[in-house]
Amino acid sequence: MSDYLVQFNNISKFFGKVIALKDVTMKLKKGEIMCLLGDNGAGKSTLIKTLAGVHRPDEGEIIVEGKKTIFDSPKDALDMGIATVYQDLALVSLMSVTRNFFMGREPLKGPPFFKTFDIEKANKIAAERMGQIGIDVRDPSQAVGTMSGGERQCLAISRAIYFGAKVLVLDEPTSALGVHQASVVLKYIVKAASQGLAVILITHNVHHAYPVGNSFTVLNRGKSLGTYKKKDISREKLLSMMAGGEELNKLEVELQELNRSSAN
Amino acid sequence: MSTKSKSIETKTDFNQDERLKKVSKLRLLLNRPELGALGGAILVFIFFGVVAGDTGMFSAYGVLNFLDVSANLGIIAIAAAMLMIGGEFDLSIGSMIGFAGICIAIPAIYWGWPLWMSIIFAFSMAVLVGYFNGILVVRTGLPSFIVTLAMLFILRGATLAITRLITGRTQVPGLRVLIEDDPLAWIFATDTFKWVFTWLGSMNLIALRTDGSPLATGIPPSVIWFIALAIITTWILMKTRYGNWIFASGGDKNGANNVGVPVGRVKISLFIGTAVAATIFATIQVLDAGSADTMRGTLKELEAIAAAVVGGCLLTGGYGSAIGAAFGALIFGTVSMGIFYTDVDTDWFKVFLGAMMLIAVIFNNYIRKKVTESK
C-alpha cells in the first residue's frame, strides 16, 4: 500500500493514428498540489478528460487509494472522489447560487413520492460554504450571473469539495481572471489542499502555478517532460521547458548563423 | 473587483448585511420572470374595464367565456413554457391537437370502442409522439425547431390522410351521445360549481335565460384543468428536484450533464408533456363540440409559444415560469374575447398579439441582462 492518494501510471490515449497522450505518469499525495503545465495542443484537454472518466485510457493504470480502478464514465470518477472543475465551470448563470450549488444533487425532504427540494437547507449550506471562503453571498437566491469570475470559480470548487471530492482536477481556473481575482482563487486552492485534498492544477500560466504548486509536470506534444519538485526547478526553467525552450534556443542559433552568413 | 473586496469587508457588518438583503429581495421580486405578464394582464383588465365595462364582458357569462378561451390556450402554453425553460421548442403542438382529436373520434365512432378507451388511446399516442420528438432531438442533437417542424407536417398530414381513408371525410361528428355515463369523459366535459351559479341565478345576481336557469351554468372543465396545471407545474419548477433539472437542462446542458443531471431524460419528459397537454386540449374541445376536425389546433403551437414568451420564458431556455405563461394565455384570451365587446374591428387582434409579443421579448431581454449582469 502506497501513501499516494491517486496514481496515474503510464497513461496513453490514442485517437486512431493520433497519439494524444503517451506514457504520462502522475502521483499525488494528500494535501499536494501538482501543477500540470503545457502549451496549447500539449494534450492537456485529453489528459483532463481521461482523469475525469470521459475518455478511457488505452494504456496505463489508474490507482485510487491503492486500488486499481477503471473509470467507465464521469460518474465513476466522481464516485471515487475525483472531481473535475472544467473551464466552463458547469454553472448556469441564470440560476441562483443555491440552485447551482446543488444542481443534480439536490437535498430532498418530505414523504416518498412527494419529495421536495429542500431550498431552505440548500440556501443555508450554500451561504455557509461560500462564507467560509470569504465570499459573502448576500442572498443565495441571487443569480450566479451577478457574481464575478473569481467568485464563480470558487463556487464551482467549493461545490466539488462539498460533494466529497478527494482529488480536485482544476482546468485553467485562473485563465479568464484578472490579477486580483486569480490570487483569490489560488489562495482558496491552497486552503483546500491544506485541508487534505490533492489538487491537480492544469494551467499554461507558470506565474500562477509556481507560487502554489508542490510539484510540476510539464506536458509537451502528448508526452510528459518529467515531474519536478519545487526545490528542484526554477520558474525560468519551467517556463522555457513549457514553451519548448530547446526549440527556441535552436531557432536563436539558426538565426545567428543566418545573420552571420548574410553579413559575410 | 472593487465590489468584491468590499463585500468581503462588509461580511461582519450585520446591519449592512440586513440592508443589502432587503434590497436584493425587492430586486428579486422585480426579476421574477412572470412580472411582465402579470403587469400586462392587469393593464388589459383595466383597459377593458374602462372601454367595455358596461357591455356584459364582465358579467358571469362574459367572464367564463374569456376564461374558457384563456384556459384552453393556457393548458398548452404552460406545457410549452416548461419545454422552453428546458431549452427546446415544440412546433407540433397544434398538429398533435388535431391528431389527438381523431385518435378519440375514429375508434369511438368507427371501431365501436368505448369512449374512455379511445381517450386513453389518444393519450398513449401523445406519449409516443412526445417520446419520439424528444428522443430524436436528444439523440441527433438537431435543433428541436426543425425536428418538431417536421413533426408538424407529418402529424397534420397523417391526421388528414388517415381520417379521409377511414371515414371519407375530414370531420368526425357524433361523439356527444357517447359522453353520458362514460367513466372517463366527464373529467374533460363537466361544468363544475353549478350550484354556485344556480344559487346566484336564484338570487337574481346573474343573467338568466327565459326559463329561469342561469345563462352561465358552471365553470368549464378547461378552467379547472388550467388552474390545476398552473399550480402543479409551478410547484414542480420551484419546489422539486426535477424542476431544478429543467432549469439546468435549459440553462446549460453540458454543464448540467457534467454535474449529473440526466438532461436527455428531462428533455424527453418535457416533450411528452407538450404532447399530453395538446391531447388534454383536444379532448376537452372534441367532447365540447361533439366532433373531431382534422384541422383543429392549426397554429396553436405558435400561440402557445407566444403566450410562454409573454409570460417571461427566454427563447434560449433556462429561464421562465409556468405561472407567467398562464398570465400570457390570460392576456391573449381576454383580448381575443374582449375585442368583441369594443368598437374595434376583430381583425386587429393579431396585430395586438404580435405587438404584445415584441414588447415582451424586448422587456425579457432587458430583464435577463439585469439578472446576469456581472458586478
CA angle, residues A166, A169, A173, in degrees to nearest 5: 130
CA distances from A20 to A29, A50, A71, A218, B47 (A): 26, 11, 18, 15, 67
- Cβ-proximal residues to B75 (8 Å cutoff; 6+ apart), any chain: B222, B225, B226, B229, B277, B280, B281, B284
Min Cα separation B245/chain A (Å): 7
Contact A1, A66 (CB under 8 A): yes
pLDDT at position B203, please?
Answer: 79
Sign of the CA dihedral B333, B335, B341, B344? negative
Min Cα separation A123/chain B (Å): 13
Residue ranges of the alpha helices (H) in B170-252?
176-179, 186-189, 194-202, 221-239, 241-251
Amino acid sitting at position B42: I
Residues of A at the B interface (Cβ-Cβ below 8 Å)?
74-75, 78, 84, 86, 88-95, 99, 102-106, 108, 115-117, 119, 131, 134-136, 138-139, 141-143, 145-151, 159, 178, 180-181, 184
B255 with A92: Cβ contact below 8 A: yes
Contact list, A181 vs chain B (CB under 8 Å): 1, 4
Sign of the CA dihedral B6, B11, B13, B14? positive
| Chain A residue whose CA is closest to B254 | A90
Contact list, A178 vs chain B (CB under 8 Å): 1
**Separation of alpha carbons B294 and B158, rounded Å:** 10
pLDDT at position B265, please?
Answer: 96
The ipTM (two decimal places) reads: 0.80
Mean pLDDT of chain A: 85
CB-based burial, A244-258: b 16+ in 10 Å, e otherwise: beeeeeeeeeeeeee
Residue A191: enclosing H or E segment and its boundaries? Answer: helix A179-194
Min Cα separation A149/chain B (Å): 8
- Cβ-proximal residues to B131 (8 Å cutoff; 6+ apart), any chain: B268, B271, B272
Contact list, A83 vs chain B (CB under 8 Å): none
- Residue of A103, A137, A177 to mutate when probing chain B, most B C-beta within 10 A: A103
Out of A102, A146, A178, name the one closest to residue B375 (CB). Answer: A146
Domain B37-207+214-368: CATH class, spelled out: mainly alpha
A139 with B256: Cβ contact below 8 A: no
Pairing of strands A82-85, A167-171: parallel
Domain residue ranges of chain B, discontinuous segments joined by +: 37-207+214-368
**Separation of alpha carbons B234 and B272, rounded Å:** 18
- Residue of A73, A82, A97, A138 to mutate when probing chain B, most B C-beta within 10 A: A138
| Chain B residue whose CA is closest to A110 | B240
The one-digit pLDDT tens for each residue of chain B (375 residues) are 344 444 433 333 333 444 444 555 556 566 677 888 888 889 889 988 888 888 888 888 889 999 999 999 999 999 999 999 999 999 999 999 999 999 999 999 999 999 999 999 999 999 999 999 999 999 999 999 999 999 999 999 999 999 999 999 999 998 888 888 888 988 898 888 888 888 888 777 777 777 777 777 889 999 999 999 999 999 999 999 999 999 999 999 988 988 888 999 999 999 999 999 999 999 999 999 999 999 999 999 999 999 999 998 988 899 999 999 999 999 999 988 888 888 888 888 888 888 888 888 888 778 777 766 644
Q: List the strands of the sheet with A223-229, edge to edge.
A: A67-69, A59-64, A6-15, A18-28, A223-229, A215-220, A33-38, A198-203, A167-171, A82-85
Contact A103, B248 (CB under 8 A): yes
Per residue in A193-227, pLDDT (tens digit) is: 888 899 999 988 888 888 999 999 888 888 888 88
Write out the DSSP string of B129-149: HHHHHHHHHHHH---HHHHHH
Cell numbers linked to A247: 526549440
pLDDT at position B6, please?
Answer: 40
Amino acid sitting at position A263: A
Q: What confidence category does residue A246 fall into, taking pLDDT thresholds of 50, 70 and 90?
A: low
A146 with B240: Cβ contact below 8 A: no
Residue A59: enclosing H or E segment and its boundaries? Answer: strand A59-64
Contact list, B258 vs chain A (CB under 8 Å): 74, 84, 86, 90
Can you say how many angstroms the Cα of residue B93 is from the centroid of all Cα atoms in its chain?
Answer: 11
Contact B311, B84 (CB under 8 A): no
B251 with A92: Cβ contact below 8 A: yes
pLDDT at position B28, please?
Answer: 58
Number of inter-chain CB pairs under 8 A, A vs B: 123
pLDDT at position B140, please?
Answer: 94
For helices B60-85 and B263-289, angle between their N-to-C axes, nearest 10 degrees: 160
A117 with B240: Cβ contact below 8 A: yes
**Separation of alpha carbons A125 and A119, rounded Å:** 10
Domains of chain A by range and CATH? 6-93+163-233 (3.40.50.300)
Min Cα separation B231/chain A (Å): 15
B224: phi then psi, degrees, rounded to nearest 5: -65, -45
> How many other C-beta atoms can be found within 10 angstroms of the C-beta atom of residue B179?
17
B255 with A104: Cβ contact below 8 A: no
Min Cα separation B238/chain A (Å): 8
- Residue of B241, B245, B247, B254 to mutate when probing chain A, most A C-beta within 10 A: B241
- Cβ-proximal residues to B247 (8 Å cutoff; 6+ apart), any chain: A92, A94, A95, A99, B85, B237, B318, B319
Task: Tally the residues of chain B.
Answer: 375
